[in-house]
Amino acid sequence: MHSRRSYTRWRLLLAEPRSGAENMARDSALQARAARTGETVFSIYSWTRPTLSFGRHQPATGLYDIEKIRSAKVDVVRRPTGGRAILHDREVTYSVTAPLKDAPSLRETYSRINRILLDGFGRLGVGVELASPSERAAAPSIRPCFETPTEGELVAQGSKLVGSAQWRDEGALLQHGSILVEDDQSVLPSFAAGRAIAGSESISPPATLRALLGRSPDVAEVASAMFDAVRSLEDDDATELAEAEIRGETVSHIPHFLDEGWTWRR
C-alpha cells in the first residue's frame, strides 16, 4: 500500500453477484494479478446464493453438519484468508488486493484500508469507529465471526459492523471483509453438528446498515461510497476494472474452491 504521492495505480471493481467459489477464485486471481502488475484493486461484490464461508484455518469437519447446511439451501466455501465463519447473504463484501513491494506491516495495512472504509461509511451517513477492546483476536473456532469485535475492527454503537481478514502470499496481499446490511448471522449456531454452539443464545447481535440508516442500501450505493473514498484518499485517478479482464484467471482458480478436500480440510 502506498501514499497518494507514489505512482501506485488503484483500480475499482464492482463485480456481478457470483457463487462462493467464483468470488473466492476472483479474489485469488486479483491477488496474483497484484503481484504481476503492481496495481491495487478495491472490489465490491455480493453472492448469488446464501453461502457459509470458513476461515483458512478454522476447524469445521465434525463441528458443522453439512446436511443441516444443505437443507437450509446454503452453500459452503473456505476463504483463502483467516478468521471465523460468516454467512454471506444480506451483506456486501469488499476486497483489496495489493503488491507487497514496499507494503507496510499487517497492522499498518489494516489501518490504511480501515481509513478508506471509515470514509466510505461517512459518505453513506453511517457513524463507524475502531474497536479497542483489551482482548486479542480470537483463535480459529466454530464461533461466529461477528460475535465479538477485536482491536482495530470496525464497530457502530459498540457492535461489530465489518469482519475482515488478510492473507499475504507470493508477493501480494488479499484483504476482504463482510459489511452487514441486515443481520442473519444468528442462524450460524443452528448449523453446528449435534447441539448448537454452547452459549450461542447469549451472542450479542451485530450492527447492520439497515439498523443504522433505517433502510437497506444496495450494493451499488455501497460501492459508490467506497470508490469515492478510494479516489479521495488514495488515487484520484483510480479507474474501473472490468470483471471480464480477469475472467480467465478467475476460472483457473475455481476448481480449488470447489474441492471439498479444501473446504473441509480441517
Query: Is residue 190 a contact partner of residue 68, using CB atoms and an 8 Å limit?
Result: yes
> Residue 226 is placed in which grid cell?
467506497
User: Using CA atoms, how far apart are residues 255 and 257, in angstroms rounded to an integer?
Assistant: 5
- C-alpha to C-alpha distances, 194 to 65, 263, 266, nearest whole angstrom: 8, 20, 18
Q: Which residues are catalytic?
A: 145
Query: Among all chains, which residue has been given the C-alpha cell 447492520?
Result: 208
Backbone torsions φ then ψ of 15, nearest 5 degrees? -90, 155
Q: At what angle do helices 219-233 and 106-124 cross, to 10 degrees?
A: 120
Query: Among all chains, which residue has been given the C-alpha cell 457459509?
Result: 52
Determine the residue type at 80: P
Query: Is residue 266 a contact partner of residue 82, using CB atoms and an 8 Å limit?
Result: no
Determine the residue type at 127: G
User: Using CA atoms, how far apart are residues 90 and 47, in angstroms rounded to an integer?
Assistant: 9
Pairing of strands 40-45, 86-88: unpaired
Neighbours of 127 (CB within 10 A): 10
Query: Is residue 97 a contact partner of residue 37, using CB atoms and an 8 Å limit?
Result: no
Neighbours of 114 (CB within 10 A): 19
